Structure 1
């Protein structure tokens, strides 16, 4: 019997193929690795699964017809995302907005028109498009009657902004349904005779047009430069069921601040609220205080709220589930700095601004993974089953490292998440899955150095640096000098370069080698060292890291030229022996989960 274990990761999909003879210890035949197609845990993964499996089968001189069973990992429900939230508030000019998510908006859809106080509609010209402003003094019966009469008189009433919580009551009495946002307490602040757009989504859904900068640009006929200015507005409205944006003339609204906002953490027995501007350490303390976490939300109308709801919305689109059913089960916050352009500067001057980097991890319905298994089974005509929890499989694979034995803990350092698991002498496994890994390191490097090209940031993360001091020699970051017989590319002269396997890549900007190296190492420490310690705390039988003796590092990030050393050094302070795994004595730290999926066959997950 031939079995293939396939591990779908955030960055790569890995395969292990083995032959079972009379249920004895399996004979491993080959392995394969290919880039994961699509976001981990979605149907798009199937292309990457095929490619990885084919590579492994070609190495073993086998075909798909030779495979009796495929086992895939149970990691599909978990998806990570990252975002930067500046602690200094975002300033928006020449617009005002209402995006407070009232509990009783009325109607549905989007409406555009000029803002008019409802008692002044008799002054509006026939054929005009308007948004009516309804203060507290006008009740729902009068409001609905005035709107119906106005529509009959040939004026297009395309939406309403209401001070009371009368949205549903008004909507029920209208001949022509319109989107209505109510509970706007400071309605006197809403500017009149200004072009406005209002959007209300169906229950369980969120606004789409006004949370998209190009959607706002379409409504207000904005230029590309004006569209840039509304990005913070659209971002803050992500995740809201209703929203209003009003375009005001230059100078009318001096500034409108969107705060970084609060994060609300709901645990199994406790709840905590923390301001993003309190910093990463306080956020992580709050998460530890309520563990285990059931869901994490952001304050509506803020940067944090927009970021966390975007994570939920992305997952919703991929899995066809309602955003409300998707839970964020972990979050990693990291203090950092980001360059911000100085408003009013003469030559694109910028200042370094405090920021918090956030990685969130979403747990969705496990049924999604079963759907992938069913589709694979249909395509290949081979039985496909979902194996055990990813970290549990990684432990089984890690035990094939020469010199390892139970009890053993593993840290699986991937691209989107950091897993940890521990197996005791009796073979019992305890595991945890946490947000934050290689992708977050790339984001922190790019944000702090001001690079929009994530490819450059990824290369800085993966490879060492050097300074080209002449056309014939470079100085490595450890201080050693290397000479060359042939002249180097003139474009690299006097530049800091990334030493990729294929060529030297000059880094844009004027950062020194030491500065870039410091940013890179600090990003890796903030993510991997912090996650290594907090994951081991969660799987330790006593909750104390010091009670763990041996740890092996697995996963793609364990191949990094400095992450294992940083983690090993940090864990040595707890008297823990840690090092990079060597799966089956040939794979290095890769293929642990795929190998574990094969080994777990017939013995339980």
Structure 2
């Protein structure tokens, strides 16, 4: 008997399959296992994870890794992917003439405009000009309320700005009610003596004046040029219940414009250019005009040029090549909106800007997996070889799914790329690697929700949501109500949570419905588009309807909603699709590792 192991090193997961070849040449599958990929895919650090997975898979057979006769690796390179996000509108970097804020607990109702005066300077004011009082957190709410009440008998106070989260506490103690803005973290950035305006809308309503560029212009007597500059401030305050806008002194405005830029897509005989400002849809249309992409470049000195340069530098480091040797051979662009921090803000204010998420893929001149095989053979003493192209091995493994027939296609939905392969009745295989998969979805979720935690974005991608409506019940995203016998921890109360193994609360003000929509749309933008793109490239005459079966494999095929999305989309083409069930026991996992063993025996 001959003991063999198939090893599939992916971007996120390393999967192994153990088999035994009898003296008559028949293959028997023994066991399988998987582990998190150690290091970047295609680097020698992968060997640690490979050996760990092999040891686990061999444990039940009481075999050691050294007892294997051969280890078969997938030809994982030569494609390596990366993702990035950039605003695609013209970026204006400026210490703005205006700074704005949106606290969650304002006090009072109304609009007040006046000169900024700090609470410690109240005694020095002798005129009746309108003033807005500013108080740092070193003053208690009782002291602030007392000083404001006394000062109103001498000067005209139109509003209050607080550093602490005490707007309601101060408001309740005022003899004459005023609009109050609190939670201004960087209160020391507010200049003395400049004009400012605070606005607090009635409950259930949003501000009207400070979210309107012309409203701000009216309050501060701005020129048309100044009005143009404060548009990002007004946009950032749309839909808010409260805001403060402060006019900074003249001379502080420093502006630099960075264009979105053009993409230059080079083919063997001609090149096309795509204006990034036109959005992802137009970019992808231009991409389809070049049948065989040799390289993609971004216009120098622009947002997209800077983004692609950074991606090429990252990929050059991974592949140990010079940047000049890195050629992008596929790209997926996705439209989205992201919160952009406003320069000059006093509390990290943001406004939503149109952006594009890009996944790029390069073809390397070296084969990194050869180095992995050499090191693995040296560490284990077992003959190790590169046995087959990833997508081709996956389609062989997919045949073991019950209910499939030739011709059969697979979509391998991974972390960095979407791979596809078609096996026809004559045994011929057509395969393709495309940029964009699970990592891009995570990036879209993270950026659009303004998260600083990719782990949380990954959890939002993988699990359903719920709203904790009391300490004893939650409402799931599908409307189902779930009750608990024991009270939930108070930290979950009123929060949107991810229903992972344990509840994960989501910071921020986004509703469950908004998070749900962003998650679904992100998956559609990446996986549905790439599924159709990939199938067109491998189908005879690029006609998707000629493919009867599509088996979904890979880590993202385990997702609780992506396979259903693809099934619904492919049903328009009368294609049977669904999660694979490799060897009737692995589900969509282990297709490549299984295919490596089948190819070795059959080859």
- Same fold per TM (> 0.5)? yes
> Any idea what SS the aligned residue of 2:551 has?
strand
1:11 maps to 12
Q: How many angstroms does 1:345 deviate by? A: 4.4
- Give 2:349's aligned residue: 349
Residue deviations 1:408-458 (CA, integer Å, cap 9, x gap): 011000111000111001111000000000000000000000001101100
What is the CA distance between 1:278 and its match in structure 2?
1.3
Query: Kindly tell me: are residues 11 and 544 of structure 1, through their superposed partners in 2, closer, same or farther at Cα, counting changes over 3 Å?
Result: same
How big is the shift at 1:76?
Answer: 2.4
Q: Which residue is 1:510 aligned to? A: 509
- The answer as to whether partners of 2:342 and 2:348 remain within 8 angstroms in 1 is yes
Measured at CA, do residues 309 and 348 of structure 1 come closer, stay the same or move farther in structure 2, by a change above 3 Å?
Answer: closer
Aligned partners of 1:265, 1:19: CA distance in 2, in Å? 48
Q: Cα offset for 1:54?
A: 1.5
Give the conservation status (yes or no) of the 8 Å contact 1:268–1:291.
no
Moved more, 402-411 or 250-259: 250-259
In 2, are the aligned partners of 1:269 and 1:290 still within 8 Å (CA)?
no
Q: Contact between 2:84 and 2:311, CA under 8 Å: does it hold in 1?
A: no
Of the structure 1 ranges 58-67 and 432-441, higher mean CA displacement relative to structure 2 is found in 58-67
Distance, in Å, in 2 between the alignment partners of 1:337 and 1:572 is 30
1:441 has 2:433 as partner = no
Provide the residue aligned with 2:275 in structure 1. 275
TM alignment of 1:561-576, pairs within 5 A: 561-576=560-575
**Deviation for aligned residue 1:341:** 2.5
Q: What residue is the counterpart of 1:529 in the other structure? A: 528
SS in 2 for 1:542: helix
How far apart are 1:344 and its partner, in Å? 4.5
Distance in 2 (alpha carbons) for counterparts of 1:276 and 1:599: 45
For residues 357 and 465 of structure 1, what CA distance do their matches in structure 2 show?
Answer: 24
CA apart distance, 1:320 = 2.0
* 2-structure distance, mates of 1:18, 1:485: 48
- List 4+ stretches of structure 1 deviating above 4 A: 250-253, 344-347
Cα distance in 1 for residues equivalent to 2:82 and 2:319: 15
Give yes or no for contact 1:13–1:33 (8 Å, CA) kept in 2.
yes
**Does the 8 A contact of 2:14 with 2:35 survive in 1?**
yes
Aligned residues: 448
Deviations 1:301-360 (A, max 9, x none): 222122222222122223321111122111100000001223444544322111110001
Structure 1 position 23, deviation (Å): 5.7
User: What are the Cα deviations for residues 344-387 of structure 1, in whole angstroms up to 9, with x where unaligned?
Assistant: 44544322111110001121124322121111111111111112
Paired with 1:437 and 1:517, the residues of 2 have a C-alpha distance of 19
Give the match for residue 26 of structure 2: 25
Structure 1 residue 297 displacement after superposition: 1.4
Structure 1 residue 558: deviation in Å? 0.4
Which residue of the partner structure matches residue 290 of structure 2?
Answer: 290
Deviations 1:450-499 (A, max 9, x none): 00110110000000001111100111111011111000011000111100
Q: Tell me if the contact between 2:88 and 2:303 (Cα under 8 Å) persists in the aligned partners.
A: no
Note if contact 2:33-2:56 (Cα within 8 Å) is conserved in structure 1.
yes
- Spell out, residue by residue over 1:127-167, the C-alpha distance to the aligned partner (whole angstroms, 9 max, x if none): xxxxxxxxxxxxxxxxxxxxxxxxxxxxxxxxxxxxxxxxx
Aligned-pair CA distance for 1:269: 3.0
Superposed CA offset, 1:36-59 (max 9, x none): 111111122121111111111113
- Output the CA distance in 2 between the equivalents of 1:259 and 1:598: 52
Aligned-residue offset at 1:60: 2.9
CA–CA distance in structure 2, aligned partners of residues 369 and 454 of structure 1: 28
> Match of 1:302?
302
**8 Å contact kept, 2:410–2:421:** yes
CA distance in structure 2 between the partners assigned to 1:35 and 1:403 by the alignment? 31
Gap regions ≥5 residues in structure 1? 95-249
SS at match of 1:293: coil
Paired with 1:336 and 1:259, the residues of 2 have a C-alpha distance of: 18
Q: Hey, what's the Cα distance between the residues in 1 that align with 2:347 and 2:542?
A: 53
Decide whether the 8 Å contact of 1:41 with 1:78 is kept in 2: no
Distance in 1 separating the partners of 2:44 and 2:301? 32
Show structure 2 runs of 5+ residues with no match: 96-249
2: CA distance between counterparts of 1:57 and 1:471?
A: 46
SS at match of 1:7: strand
- 1:88 Cα deviation from its structure 2 partner: 1.9
Aligned match of 2:103: none
Q: Is the 8 A contact 1:580 1:588 kept in 2?
A: yes
Question: Which whole-Å CA distance do the structure 1 matches of 2:578 and 2:283 have between them?
Answer: 30
Q: 1:69 to 1:573 in 2, by over 3 A?
A: same
**SS of the counterpart of 1:552?**
strand
- How far the C-alpha of 1:579 sits from its partner, in A, is 0.7
TM (norm. structure 2) is: 0.72
Distance in 1 between residues matched to 2:488 and 2:553, nearest whole Å: 37
Bigger-Rg structure (1/2)? 2
* Rounded Cα–Cα distance in structure 1 between residues aligned with 2:24 and 2:291: 41
Q: Cα distance, 1:266 vs. partner?
A: 1.3
SS in 2 for 1:43: coil
CA distance in 2, matches of 1:22, 1:365: 40
RMSD, aligned α-carbons? 1.6
Q: Are the equivalent residues in 2 in contact too, given 1:390–1:593 (CA < 8 A)? A: yes
Written as runs of structure 1 = structure 2, the 5 A alignment for 1:130-141 is none
After alignment, is 16-25 or 583-592 more displaced? Answer: 16-25
- What residue is the counterpart of 1:155 in the other structure? none
Secondary structure class of the residue paired with 1:427: coil
TM-superposed deviation, 1:93: 5.0
Q: CA 1:254–1:27 in 2, change beyond 3 Å: closer, same or farther?
A: same
Structure 2 partner of 1:467: 467
Cα displacement string for residues 173-219 of structure 1 (whole angstroms, at most 9, x for unaligned residues):
xxxxxxxxxxxxxxxxxxxxxxxxxxxxxxxxxxxxxxxxxxxxxxx
Contact 1:6/1:594 (8 A) holds in 2: yes
TM-score (norm 1): 0.72
